């Protein structure tokens, strides 16, 4: 459904994304993980048209969408969310969602009706008339998903939609995303909260220093020494395998690693 081929992007002397080739099948949920600064959000920008690649290609359902502008890519069925959620604060939740619906629906009445449908789908039925400025962090995250979903995409790119949520809110949003996937949606998500990755994703792709370093099941990638070291530094896998007897650093760092149940250290992707 979605495929990148040898996608690369350089910013001056920094190679942010290097020769990345990934595939996401129709109806699949794939998680893109990696330490802060690995190039994950840049990759989303390349796929969604916000950043032009230096090399490589992006294909959506067999169609080459490389270097097309974001609005054209959205019309072809790919929508994305952003790490920093910026709703229109003075508009209601319903009106915010309708902004996304207007990509395909010209009439206001039709867009508002679509917004109500999507609002119910993401669990915001009771909040449709509330000004977006009054939403909690969890509410704003759901609204960001809803605005993307209102464009009627075939593929959703979700950029850390669980960041800042507590465990109960994460569990609730995971359930919403499962229901969205069950409608046939294809999802590629960037996520640091491993509780969500393990629960949602059928497959995980690990990015480090702009390159794909591993791919596999959520359980499988957590056992790969080079993935552990990408998060925790050189020699970490050996120290962790040695156990507490190796010293005070052996047991502690697992809380930030790829097998943890909670979030990794905060920062940009």
Tell whether 89 is covered by a domain: yes
> pTM (2 decimals)?
0.84
Share of the chain above pLDDT 70, in %: 86
Does residue 230 share a domain with residue 193? Answer: no
Does residue 250 share a domain with residue 200? Answer: no
Give me the pLDDT at residue 228, please: 78
Closest CA to 177 of 122, 97, 96: 122
CB atoms inside a 10 Å sphere around CB 77: 19
pLDDT at position 268 over 50: no
Does residue 139 share a domain with residue 185? Answer: yes
| Size of the chain, expressed as the number of residues it contains | 269
3 state SS of 207: strand
pLDDT category at 252 given cuts 50, 70, 90 is very low
Give me the pLDDT at residue 221, please: 86
Give me the pLDDT at residue 63, please: 95
**Chosen domain end from 222, 239, 255:** 222
Does residue 152 share a domain with residue 231? Answer: no
pLDDT at position 131 over 90: yes
For 152-202, the pLDDT digits (tens) are 999 999 999 999 999 999 999 999 999 999 999 999 999 988 888 999 999
Does residue 198 share a domain with residue 151? Answer: yes
Tell whether 269 is covered by a domain: no
Mean pLDDT of 22-28: 95
Give me the pLDDT at residue 25, please: 95
22: containing domain: 2-222
Does residue 246 share a domain with residue 160? Answer: no
Does residue 103 share a domain with residue 77? Answer: yes
pLDDT at position 233 over 90: no
Does residue 116 share a domain with residue 57? Answer: yes
Tell whether 97 is covered by a domain: yes
Does residue 92 share a domain with residue 61? Answer: yes
Does residue 139 share a domain with residue 233? Answer: no
pLDDT category at 247 given cuts 50, 70, 90 is very low
Give all strands of the β-sheet with 78-80 in edge-to-edge order.
78-80, 155-159, 186-190, 29-33, 203-208, 211-216
pLDDT category at 245 given cuts 50, 70, 90 is very low
Q: How far apart are the first and last CA of the chain?
A: 24
Q: How many domains does the chain have?
A: 2
pLDDT at position 209 over 70: yes
Mean pLDDT of 83-98: 94
CATH of residue 119? 3.40.50.300
Does residue 256 share a domain with residue 161? Answer: no
Give me the pLDDT at residue 93, please: 98
Does residue 154 share a domain with residue 49? Answer: yes
Mean pLDDT of 114-131: 96
Tell me phi and psi for residue 95, to 5 degrees: -65, -35
């Amino acid at each position: 459904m979605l495929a990148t081929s040898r996608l690369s992007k350089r910013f001056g002397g920094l190679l942010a994304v290097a020769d990345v080739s990934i595939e996401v099948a129709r109806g699949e949920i794939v998680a893109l993980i990696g330490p802060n600064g690995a190039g994950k959000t840049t990759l989303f920008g390349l796929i969604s048209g916000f950043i032009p690649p230096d090399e490589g290609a992006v294909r959506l359902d067999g169609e080459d969408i490389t270097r097309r502008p974001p609005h054209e890519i959205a019309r072809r069925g790919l929508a994305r969310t952003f790490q920093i959620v910026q709703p229109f604060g003075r508009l209601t939740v319903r009106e915010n969602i309708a902004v996304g619906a207007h990509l395909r629906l010209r009439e206001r009445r039709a867009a508002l009706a679509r917004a109500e449908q999507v609002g119910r789908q993401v669990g915001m039925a009771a909040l449709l008339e509330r000004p977006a400025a009054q939403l909690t962090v969890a509410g704003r995250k759901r609204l960001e998903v809803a605005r993307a979903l209102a464009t009627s995409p075939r593929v959703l790119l979700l950029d850390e939609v669980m960041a800042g949520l507590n465990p109960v809110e994460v569990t609730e949003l995971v359930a919403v995303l499962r229901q969205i996937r069950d409608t046939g949606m294809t999802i590629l998500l960037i996520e640091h909260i491993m509780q969500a990755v393990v629960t949602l994703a059928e497959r995980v792709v690990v990015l480090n220093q702009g390159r794909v370093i591993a791919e596999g099941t959520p359980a499988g990638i957590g056992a790969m020494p080079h993935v552990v070291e990408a998060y925790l530094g050189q020699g970490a896998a050996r120290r962790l395998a040695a156990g507490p007897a190796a010293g005070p650093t052996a047991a502690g760092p697992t809380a930030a690693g790829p097998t943890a149940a909670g979030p990794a250290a905060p920062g940009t992707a």
